[in-house]
């Protein structure tokens, strides 16, 4: 039992270390190198709406500040727990590191109406930076590094001229989102460790799988969403 606990603690510590390193890597990634990528891609939106669908982008994960803006302007009905729950405790309750935007039955984002975003002026940061998200991928030499680009050539127009100021703004937003996502992840795993210890809980992969089967059959499940330093209880069932 002690060895298992030590192994789990070691895993958490290693994950936290890796996240901190990746944050440093993002923040130190050369601006001129990523600016070159932005100019080479030269993305321009053509209002096709594909990036606003779950078919192309699966889900829109929200940093806490973006979730807060939506709650303040539209209420909580526009949010859902982010999918792919991180873990399940020994009591059958899931935990996830944040909220996502709801989608309509046709798969479009809840804000997408008649070819336009109803929330555009204060849209989430992930939407502002699309498709310039930073991804770690292996290159031809086998080395893993930050490389372009989300949804390349699947929607929108490419190889347009990008002005210097626009390029700087994109670069700033990309680094802010990517490092913000990792910091939220780091806070989540640190809080999970304290929460489980305080409430004498354990992670359970076996119960995770059992509860997911029940969820897939339409039964309700409890999810605790990490939001601004605390866990908020949600009860959901599969649509």
DSSP assignment of 109-177: BTTEETTEETTGGG--HHHHHTT---EEEE-TTS-EEEE--TTTTTSSB-S----HHHHHHHHHHHHHH
On the CB side of 155, how many CA atoms lie within 13 Å of its CA? 16
What residues does 235 pair with on adjacent strands? 222
Is the bond preceding 149 in cis, omega lying within 30 degrees of 0? yes
Residue 185 has a pLDDT of 95
Residue 80 has a pLDDT of 96
CA–CA distances in Å: residue 28 to residues 24, 125, 176, 179? 6, 20, 12, 11
Average pLDDT of span 232-237: 96
pLDDT at 43 over 60: yes
β pairing state of 87-88 and 112-113: unpaired
Q: What gap in Å lies between CA 23 and CA 15, rounded to an integer? A: 12
Out of 31-35, 113-117, 124-128, 139-143, least confident range: 139-143
Residue 5 has a pLDDT of 39
Length of the chain: 239
pTM: 0.86
Give residue 41's pLDDT band: very low, low, confident or very high (50, 70, 90).
confident
Out of 16-20, 131-135, 227-231, least confident range: 131-135
Mean pLDDT computed over every residue of the chain: 87
Give residue 172's pLDDT band: very low, low, confident or very high (50, 70, 90).
very high
């Amino acid at each position: 039992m002690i060895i298992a606990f030590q192994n789990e603690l070691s895993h958490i510590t290693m994950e936290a270390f890796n996240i901190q390193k990746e944050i440093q890597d993002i923040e130190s990634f050369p601006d001129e190198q990523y600016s070159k990528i932005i100019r080479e891609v030269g993305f321009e939106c053509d209002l096709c709406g594909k990036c606003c669908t779950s078919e192309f982008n699966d889900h829109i994960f929200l940093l806490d500040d973006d979730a807060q803006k939506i709650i303040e302007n539209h209420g909580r009905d526009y949010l859902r727990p982010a999918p792919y729950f991180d873990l399940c405790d020994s009591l059958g309750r899931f935990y996830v590191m944040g909220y996502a935007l709801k989608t309509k039955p046709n798969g479009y984002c809840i804000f997408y109406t008649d070819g336009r975003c109803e929330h555009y002026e204060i849209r989430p940061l992930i939407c502002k930076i699309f498709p310039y998200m930073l991804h770690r991928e292996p290159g031809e030499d086998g080395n893993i590094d930050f490389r372009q680009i989300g949804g390349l050539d699947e929607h929108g127009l490419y190889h347009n001229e990008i002005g210097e100021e626009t390029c700087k703004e994109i670069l700033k937003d990309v680094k802010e989102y990517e490092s913000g996502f990792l910091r939220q992840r780091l806070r989540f795993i640190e809080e999970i460790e304290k929460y489980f210890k305080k409430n004498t809980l354990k992670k359970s992969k076996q119960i995770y799988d059992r509860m997911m089967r029940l969820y897939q059959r339409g039964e309700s499940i409890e999810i605790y969403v990490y939001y601004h330093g605390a866990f908020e209880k949600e009860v959901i069932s599969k649509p």
